[in-house]
Amino acid sequence: MPQPFLSAEHICKRFAHHTALTDVSISVPEGRIFGLLGPNGAGKTTLRRIINRITAPDSGTVMLGGHPLQADDVRTIGYLPEERGLYKKMKVGEQALYLARLKGMGRDEARTALYEWFDRFGITSWWNKKLEELSKGMQQKVQFIVTVVHRPRLLIFDEPFSGFDPVNAERLKQEILRLRDEGHTIIFSTHNMASVEEICDEMALINQGQVVLRGNVQEVKRRFSTGDYELLSAADTLPAADTAYTIVSKEQHSAGVRYRLRKADQATLGELLSRLAAQCELRSFSEQLPTMHEIFLRTVSSTQAAPQS
């Protein structure tokens, strides 16, 4: 695993009436997409604001690229807030230029980079339009460009797909993956668990101000694996009971019969497969990993049931 580009260590933040974060540590590897997940009010926004230097933690440190976070680092960070907002009365190009310059770009540098992005999204003709003349989806594109134009090494996307139609969402996903491949480190915050599985490499789940689950997305899924397998057989030929497995469920399918099997603990995967091959005509066989959605719900409800003080 690459060195962490950003790491937050033992972050605590209290507000007047509640504790937002308790001893939160996350570590985001360079060049990866890191999913920051959690239900509403879990403390994600507070953590994002601390990384953005909008608020300061009560204790704990944030390290960016090997040094403690400092004022100049805003140039290194691009932030796409969930609540989108730009100046409605301002012209798109002028506005993008203004925001890019506030990130520390020179005028000409910013202009060149913006032209490139506008060109890539095919929106060069919007340059002199006022923002309020654009549709919601169009405004989202401008907002995305504004976030990435200064080539920040760390990008923070908060629900980036909200407000995009499927075609543009796919387009955006490709852009995000491309940015990752170019070496940008990305923190991706969302409630959309399907998109986490699609694009995140690492993840951390925050609930009630604490990290309750973290790790590589595939590893986490495996950790939550129940040892179930899905088997598609040409016909209903499996015996009702076997020493290597139990049948959890069975359903008729257009291509045959679909079984959900649970492997017995003492049996190896090889034994299971050879047994099944003898018992039926195998059409497909795959491990049933829980979806992130299931993992999210299970983790959140279990930590909510037994809240840690």
Partner 1 sequence: MNKLLIIIRREFLTRVQKKSFIVLTLLMPFIFAALIFVPLALAGIKDDSGKQVAVVDKTGLYTGLFQGNAAYTFVEVPDTTAEMRDEDSPIEAVVLISDTLTRRPDAFTIYSRREVSSELLTLVQTQLNERIRQDKLRAYDVPGLDSIISDVQTQVSVSTKKWTADGTERHSDTFVAIGAGFLFTFLIYMFVMSYGAMVMQSVLEEKTGRIVELMVSSVRPFQLMMGKIVGIALVGFLQLAIWGVMLALLLMAAGLLFGQAPTVGMHMPPGTDAAAMQAVQPAEGSSQQLLQALAGLPYAEMGVLFVLYFVGGYLLYASFFAAAGASVSQQEDSAQFTMPVVLLMLFGLYAAMYSVENTDGPLAFWASLFPLTSPIVMMVRIPFGVPLWQEFLSLALLYATSLLFVWLGAKIYRTGILMYGKKPTLREIARWLRYD
Among 66, 68, 85, 166, which residue sits at the site for partner 1 (rule: CB under 8 A)?
Answer: 85
Query: CB count, 10 Å around CB of 167?
Result: 9
C-beta of 75 vs 293, nearer to partner 1: 75
Contact stretch for partner 1 (CB under 8 A) within 76-84, 224-232, 239-247, 289-297:
76-84
> How near is the Cβ of 104 to partner 1 at its closest, in Å?
8
C-beta of 102 vs 234, nearer to partner 1: 102
74 binds partner 1 (CB under 8 A): yes
- Tokens 């959690």 correspond to what residue? 38
- β-pairing verdict for 59-64 and 67-68: antiparallel
Among 77, 142, 276, 292, which residue sits at the site for partner 1 (rule: CB under 8 A)?
Answer: 77
- The three-state secondary structure class of 245 is strand
Among 12, 63, 90, 282, which residue sits at the site for partner 1 (rule: CB under 8 A)?
Answer: 90
Q: Rounded to an integer, what distance in angstroms lies between the CA atom of residue 290 and that of residue 113?
A: 42
Q: Are 203 and 217 in contact (CB under 8 A)?
A: yes
> How near is the Cβ of 68 to partner 1 at its closest, in Å?
17
C-beta of 104 vs 183, nearer to partner 1: 104
Q: Which amino acid is at 188?
A: F
C-beta of 75 vs 191, nearer to partner 1: 75
Site for partner 1 in 13-72 (CB under 8 A): 16, 49, 52-56, 71
Q: Rounded to an integer, what distance in angstroms lies between the CA atom of residue 26 and that of residue 84?
A: 25
Binding residues with partner 1: total (CB under 8 A): 27
The Cβ-side half-sphere exposure at 155, using a 13 Å CA radius, reads 28
C-beta of 139 vs 207, nearer to partner 1: 139
Find the length of the chain.
309
Element (H, E) at 193: helix 193-199
Residues 6+ apart with CB under 8 A from 30: 2, 3, 4, 5, 183, 185
Binding-site string for partner 1 from residue 102 to residue 121, where x marks contact by CB under 8 A and - marks none? xxx-----------------
- At 62, list the tokens: 């944030």
C-beta of 49 vs 275, nearer to partner 1: 49
The footprint of partner 1 (CB under 8 A) covers 16, 49, 52-56, 71, 74, 77, 79, 81, 83-90, 98-99, 101-104, 146
